[in-house]
Structure 1
Amino acid sequence: MYKVLIADDEPMIRKGLQKLIEQSGQPLAGIRLAENGLDALRLIGEERPDFLFTDIRMPKLDGLELCRQVSEMDSDIQIVIVSGYNDFEYAQKCVSYGVKEYLLKPISKKSVDAALNKLVQLQTRQKYKAFVSIYKLEKWIGEAEEAVWTLQQSDLLEIIHKVRQELYASRLKLYQVLDVMAEFSSLLIKRLNVRDVFAFSDTLDLRDVAADDEAWIRFQASLVQLLLDLKAKRKGKLKDPVEEAKLYIENHLNEEVSLEEVADRIGLNPSYFSQLFKQSTQETFVQYRTRRRMEKAKKLLAQPQYRITDISGEVGYADHPHFTKTFKKYIGVLPSEYRSKLGIE
């Protein structure tokens, strides 16, 4: 998610550029607007943007001076100069301040999209070149995955400590550390989910983190929680997940319960649960649910006080003709014929 700051003294330009950036399709965390260079510096001090779009000619502090101060303050902010044709040569002087792209007025959607695509690619390459190598990140994640999967909490804490020490030695800024943490957590979740047994979700929340210690506390808590969740899910398996699923189906025969809903209820990956259920019952989830519905329908049909149309709803069929068709397929006769055989008219 990228944070954008737009600095331009013309309200129409600011709003227009904001709208074009919002329509770009890039993942945005927010867009802020500044009326001049001084206003932009204040906003950067409050919250660092990933991308800065700035006009050249502005009151109080022009775009050239803004670029110079931003490059000294944080050289990793990607800057785009917005200028009129007559200012283009002047704008090119900003190249020594790390400007990555120029937009000529009038601004078009195509030029904004191209500029943003370039900025995103540059930042992605910069992230892994400057922060930590892909090889090292994959190695850490592999170790963390093994520790979580084998429920070795002490090993997991040791890995987190090692990662922290190495990132500290690299003298990374806080926003860089947060990016590595977010990527680490996301990739770890993906690798755990590839095992196709339990469904894991990423709960790491690094919003509003203002200090290094706070970030590491949240990061460690999130990874340890993964381990504890897995431990709890495995303990639950002592109850037999298939029997738990059967009980849930039985209690909800009058509802259109899906395989995914039941799998989530008992804490299993849907694909794995489907295989496990069929292996245990010799029936697919749908076949088992339908058979139990028909068996319940037979019991209700044996009770004269129930109307056949009411019974179809009691076993999960809002469409009565569908119920009668399914009943005949499984039992061999229509519901009315089955009831007649019991001597009930």
Structure 2
Amino acid sequence: MHVLIVDDESFVRRSLAELLERDPAACHSVSAAENGLAALQILQTREVDLVISDIRMPGMDGLELARYISEHEPDTETVLLTGHQDFVYARQALRYGVREYLVKPISVESILGVVSAAGERLQSRRQEQQVLRLREKNLRRKLLTDLLYGMPLPFFERHLIPPFSSFAVLSVSLRGVSLPGSWSEQSIYAAVINILEEYFSPHAFTVGIQEEQAVMLLFATGTAGENGAADDYDDTGASGDTGAADKSGSTLKAEADFTRCYHELAVQGLEKLTALLKSLFCAGMSGFHSELEALPEAYRESLEALRLAKLPEAAPVVRHSGACAAGADAAADEELHSKAKRRIISVVIDRMEARLQENLSLKLMADELYMNPTYLGRIFKEDMGEGFSSMLTRLRIKRAKELLEDVTVKVYEVSERVGFRDPAYFSLLFKKAVGVTPQEYQKHNNRNPR
């Protein structure tokens, strides 16, 4: 934890610094400033977790410093020290979000206690932020996976994707058919995502999604988002629509340079994969697109290019060309369609399991996914081997069995929690599926605890 001590008395600064640096319970980085103005220079150049400041100092006093911190450095905590027991000071200090207001002379135990408490809050806050970042990252991947297969992106979740000027998709796969060494397919492609996300992040906002025997990597340019810096080519006006006939020669040249830059980055990224994972990889790169709704098309383009990259003597990274798009690779279309159906079914089942208590229906699921109910019902039965209603009942009975293992829960409560408003009807379906009534099932579990 970085602590900044601000006091116009050199003895106080030195004593507090030595005390914190010798603290056996923590490892503190300590800076010191003789007044508020000197403290500002440190705050503007370094990340400071805790400021311990005197109130009365020349130039800028502690209260002015506290106000600056509350307005410009909200993650920095402030503790004020003073030799004056003045309620007005304390009241102002609280208004500026000051954590503690200590009156000199201060004992060693008091100052160490304040710093220790600040350290615990800092650690807790960082853990919460890390959890939130991971949740956001996982949600972003889920949303992009849905969008990949043509499912709509809810408008209220678009903030998860920062504004961008254009994006492309890179599909990466092992060049051989066998897995190297002791790697599993899941583990090696998880490593591919980690390596390429880190590699591309200085150049573009990057998200990797693990697919069957491949990785889909989306990189969006012209954004200063969480995972990437603003792109150097952002002023070219490139939209990725390289086939447009009405573009000027200068614009086409800029877009060609833009595409070539990312093609070279992709080649270098594969070289890095080979060096780290000791395996050969190939990749197909889509054209650049400007609208996120074009993600399915970009993915299809990358699959077509990847199919060419897997051919003998092919370059490690193959860029999608306009000619390839015009001739629409039927195999890539079929692969994308098959994956899309599986993704849709997976989303539907996840929603069913999470919302068993609701009055669910095939039409409701279809409406939420902007799909035709008849089509959804057909692909659901083709993939699962049973209809939506049959699957819903089976999931509800499965959940009811789990709930009935708690003998304190009433049968009618279980009935409601799994979506049956009529307990008698619930009992009838339960006995038909399990062979005994819910009451008998619960009593049996009570006699034979696990």
TM range (shorter): 0.3 to 0.5
TM-score relative to the length of structure 1: 0.42
Higher fraction of helix = 1
